[in-house]
Chains A and B, each alone.
Chain A
Amino acid sequence: MKPVVGIVVSNKMQKSVVVAVDRLFHNKVYNRYVKRTSKFMAHDETDDCNIGDRVRLDPSRPLSKNKHWVVAEVLRRAKMYVPPSAATASSELGSTAQQAATKSSA
């Protein structure tokens, strides 16, 4: 087995993730490339994978009933969406805290 690259679709388990791996194969009848997805359970020792992360999996010995891959590395982190309101609120909180600190020092 060779290493595969896929996207994390679930990280609800402890030290385990489910990774969706896409592959293309050629259909001779229709002369088109067809996409198929396989879902693999993989061991994530550090438990730092999030949904949407692009990871590389290495084959491993059977670690449990369905788990025989290991997360070798996180190739690309998922972009986390931060709502604008939350961002502005956090910046406002920071500025008010700074003002309070300067007042107390004065």
Chain B
Amino acid sequence: MSRDPLVVGNVVGDILDPFIKSASLKILYNNRELTNGSDLKPSQVVNEPRIEIAGRDMRNLYTLVMVDPDSPSPSNPTKREYLHWLVTDIPESANASYGNEIVSYESPKPTAGIHRFVFVIFRQSVRQTIDAPGWRPNFNSRDFSALYNLGPPVASVFFNCQRETGCGGRRYIR
């Protein structure tokens, strides 16, 4: 019985409602494609990734959202969801750099625990003006989608990331 990684990773439930995948989303960090649930170090995700949405019709536009549902710590996510990146008007078959960057990319810097970082794309019905949120913490993907009539997500990918230098513990000084 194989389960959807988005369900196992609690992405569906914590951030998104159940949806049917209807687009192909490819995310590449340093020319390495991201798979659901893969572990990356903060040093590997300093620069924004390359986003590729498969398709041939450049009239189809998409909105990309990158959020962290485990901020500041997975056991007490008071800032859920923390907005890391927001790009609109991304044409199908083109890179995210062709889109309109509303909120600039902020590289993940998890302090406590293992954080999930989720990329979600919504299909836009028309080219529209989307206002930048006033702050990054406590962003809500469901409310955002409802506010701009984006409908359910069409694809999503997430990765895990944790502090590079080990978490706490006693340090012995010889």
Contacts and interface: CB of A to CB of B under 8 A. Distances in A.
B114 A62 contact: yes
B113 A61 contact: no
B164 to A, nearest CB: 14
Interface residues of A, number: 9
A64 to B, nearest CB: 7
Contacts of A2: 1
B1 A61 contact: no
Contacts of B160: 61-62
A60 B3 CA distance: 10
Most buried by A among B8, B37, B113, B160: B8
Nearest to A61: B9
Contacts of B10: 60-61
B116 A61 contact: yes
Contacts, number: 23
A71 B55 CA distance: 41
Nearest to B9: A61
A6 B24 CA distance: 39
A62 B114 CA distance: 7
Interface string B111-146: 001101000000000000000000000000000000
Contact of A64 (B1, B113, B116): B113
Contacts of B3: 1, 59
Interface of B: 1, 3, 8-10, 37, 39, 74, 113-114, 116, 160
Pairs A-B, 3 closest by C-beta atoms: A61-B9, A2-B1, A62-B114
Given A61-B114, A62-B114, 4 more contacts: A1-B8, A3-B1, A60-B10, A61-B37
